[in-house]
Amino acid sequence: MIYLKTREEIEIMRESALMVSRTLGLIAKEVKPGVKPIYLDKLAEEYIRDNGGVPAFKGYKSHNGAPDFPATLCISINEAVVHGIPTDKPLNEGDIISVDCGVKKNGFFGDHAYTFAVGEIKPEVRQLLDVTKESLYKGIEQMVSGNRVGDISYAIQQHVKKQGYGIVEDLVGHGLGRNLHEDPQIPNYGRRSDGPKLSEGMVFAIEPMINMGKKGIKLLKDGWTFVTVDGMPSAHFEHDVAIVNGKPEILSSYAYIEEALALNK
């Protein structure tokens, strides 16, 4: 069942989404060679708790018998697609790191992600990041009343397909609200005019996960981290989007990240 949100609820959700955006902005300032992912995680947790939020991923129950997720951020490096556990292994020049963060505040969730470059990265990896981010916005454009979930999926797929990248099929975007994962599922591939119809008050986390090589992924022994089967890099961008007045309104924001990245240069 898809839960529709009132305007008031959407405003509360914007606050949760923006708390994640500000957290990622803070992380953006710190992503550089030599930094330990667990340090980034500590910063994020402190910031969220200091601002009256609760980290949504920490303690998240596994479906496969693995221990509960131990951290505030999912940090997925290079061939890791999503759900990576932050470690104390320092970042290296040329890495890419996908940082996904979830927050619960006032009973509603925010869930939003960005893939960062660590120092200089290869042009072909930069292109993977750019195309994945562009595909997110192509999908968001389709989040219009009267369209269907498949229109979002198809737009993402069409944009990514041109590059020959692999689209992760086993993991998908989702509805968002009082639960971190609600109906409907939002695959990053699909057919136009397929799936549930979109209407006013829907809020989705749209999140293309795109591999430079083949689409296949596998789960590591830690029970959380998904990596590409071929070992090629993978990118992940996610926004929280509501339908307001029939049109998509992005509740999260990359402005904090982009401001921090511009200062780092």
CB of 115 to Mg ion, least distance (A): 12
- SS (HEC) of the chain: CCCCCCHHHHHHHHHHHHHHHHHHHHHHHHCCCCCCHHHHHHHHHHHHHHCCCEECCCCCCCCCCCCCCCCCEEEEECCEEECCCCCCCCCCCCCEEEEEEEEEECCEEEEEEEEEECCCCCHHHHHHHHHHHHHHHHHHHCCCCCCEHHHHHHHHHHHHHCCCCEECCCCCEEECCCCCCEEEEECCCCCCCCCCECCCCCEEEECCEEECCCCCEEECCCCCCEEECCCCCEEECEEEEEEECCEEEECCCCHHHHHHHHHHC
The interface region with Mg ion, picked from 36-44, 59-67, 105-113, 147-155 by CB under 5 A, is: 105-113
Name the segment binding Mg ion (CB under 5 A); options: 84-92, 99-107, 157-165, 254-262. Answer: 99-107
Is position 167 an interface residue for Mg ion (rule: CB under 5 A)?
no
For Mg ion, the closer CB: 41 or 111: 111
45 sits near Mg ion (criterion: CB under 5 A): no
**Is 151 among the residues that bind Mg ion (CB under 5 A)?**
no
* Binding-residue pattern over the window 112 to 141 for Mg ion, x denoting contact by CB under 5 A: -x----------------------------
- Looking at the Cβ atoms of 39 and 60, the one nearer to Mg ion is 60
Closest of 82, 35, 25, 38 to residue 235, by C-alpha: 82
Residue number with CB closer to Mg ion (102 or 166): 102
Residues 236-255, one symbol each (x = binds Mg ion by CB under 5 A, - = not), give: --x-----------------
Least separation, in Å, of the C-beta of 236 and Mg ion?
A: 8
205 binds Mg ion (CB under 5 A): yes
Triad 233, 264, 241: Cα angle to 5°: 60
Binding-site member from 45, 100, 151, 240 for Mg ion (CB under 5 A): 100
Instruction: Pick one of 9, 41, 79, 111: the residue that binds Mg ion (CB under 5 A).
Output: 111
Rank residues 169 and 230 by Cβ distance to Mg ion and give the closer one: 169
Selected range binding Mg ion among 89-97, 107-115, 220-228, 240-248, rule: CB under 5 A: 107-115
Report the alpha-carbon angle 240-31-92, nearest 5. Answer: 125
Choose between 90 and 99: whose C-beta lies nearer to Mg ion. 99
What residues between 174 and 203 interact with Mg ion by CB under 5 A?
Answer: none
- Report in angstroms how near the CB of residue 238 gets to Mg ion at its nearest: 5
User: Interface residues with Mg ion (CB under 5 A)?
Assistant: 100, 111, 113, 205, 238
